[in-house]
């Protein structure tokens, strides 16, 4: 195997391991501080990745500037709701259950692309969408189990990630990468910075460890995905994302004493298969220059 290809694949898997540990760090907080605080400090930690995101010719002030301000605002808002949704999901659900709902993002991308981008969708992509929803019904089993705020958070996280992907697909090639990345930080920082003030509690040293693990490892994941994308096609980077589910199951068992029920395992498998089918179709349709767009984690 070509050395560059091997390096790219390894970097992709390391990126999604970093994301998985970041998400586990959120769960280790056990809801002892508000989701607003966790997202605020996590987003603030993401600033460390900016030097790697910045492309030649871009300036740091471009973080706050965009050719299309509406697009920038949508990107910022989706980042805020997506981050909050994922933190709530990992706080209240097992890691495997949270991930399988967050991985509805490809399904939401297909739906939003039809509505807002007027894309033509064939029967294979619609079949993947339907399969994804069947998987969700298997996992959630509405009417047979109690649902909580974590399920809502996971769906909001997946939907917000899809809004980001569709927004970047529409405007990503005309905007500077540092601007797109900056919107993804500034949205959560401003929104949660204000919301956390009424009930703010200064984190303990151990809580700081989990908060920094959440933010810094997510930033590391962003950098690693970009390094991987510089070496291999996006169609090879995207499937590595599903290794997160393996880590979620392992971390859930080793760290959080979670056990995956057989029926939930079936639902997880259906959703993952749906996501792989959708990503396979999406990879073919990605426009030239897609590598300019910053990576999008499900949260």
Q: Mean pLDDT per segment of 10 residues, for the chain of length 299 residues?
A: 83 92 95 95 93 89 89 93 95 90 82 83 81 84 80 93 84 82 93 95 95 94 84 73 86 90 86 74 46 47
Give the predicted TM-score (pTM) of the model: 0.87
| pLDDT for position 292 | 39
| Contact criterion met (CB below 8 Å) for 69 and 118 | no
| pLDDT for position 147 | 83
Sign of CA dihedral 6, 7, 8, 12: positive
**What was the pLDDT predicted at 129?**
81
DSSP 8-state code for residue 146: -
- Residue of 187, 183, 222 whose CA lies nearest to 65: 183
At 281 the pLDDT is 60
- Position 207 scores a pLDDT of 96
pLDDT in the model for residue 294: 45
pLDDT of 286 reads 46
């Amino acid at each position: 195997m070509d050395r560059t290809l091997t390096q790219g694949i390894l970097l992709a898997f390391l990126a999604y391991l970093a994301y998985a540990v970041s998400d586990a760090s959120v769960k280790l907080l056990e809801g002892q501080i508000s989701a607003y605080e966790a997202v605020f400090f996590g987003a603030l930690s993401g600033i460390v990745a900016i030097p790697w995101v910045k492309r030649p010719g871009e300036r740091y002030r471009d973080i706050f500037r965009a050719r299309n301000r509406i697009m920038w605002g949508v990107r910022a808002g989706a980042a805020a709701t997506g981050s909050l949704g994922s933190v709530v999901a990992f706080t209240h659900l097992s890691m495997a259950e949270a991930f399988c709902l967050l991985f509805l993002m490809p399904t939401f991308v297909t739906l939003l692309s039809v509505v807002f981008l007027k894309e033509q969708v064939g029967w294979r992509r619609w079949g993947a969408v339907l399969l994804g929803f069947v998987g969700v019904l298997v996992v959630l089993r509405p009417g047979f189990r109690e649902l909580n705020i974590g399920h809502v958070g996971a769906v909001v996280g997946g939907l917000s990630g899809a809004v980001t992907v569709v927004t970047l697909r529409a405007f990503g090639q005309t905007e500077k990468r540092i601007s797109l990345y900056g919107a993804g930080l500034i949205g959560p920082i401003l929104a949660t910075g204000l919301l956390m003030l009424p009930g703010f509690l200064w984190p303990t040293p151990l809580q700081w460890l989990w908060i920094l693990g959440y933010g810094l490892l997510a930033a590391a994941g962003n950098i690693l995905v970009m390094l991987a994308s510089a070496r291999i096609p996006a169609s090879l980077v995207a499937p590595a994302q599903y290794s997160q589910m393996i880590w979620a199951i392992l971390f859930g068992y080793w760290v959080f004493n979670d056990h995956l029920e057989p029926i939930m395992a079936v639902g997880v498998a259906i959703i993952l298969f749906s996501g792989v089918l959708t990503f396979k179709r999406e990879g073919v349709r990605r426009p030239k220059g897609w590598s300019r767009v910053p990576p999008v984690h499900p949260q």
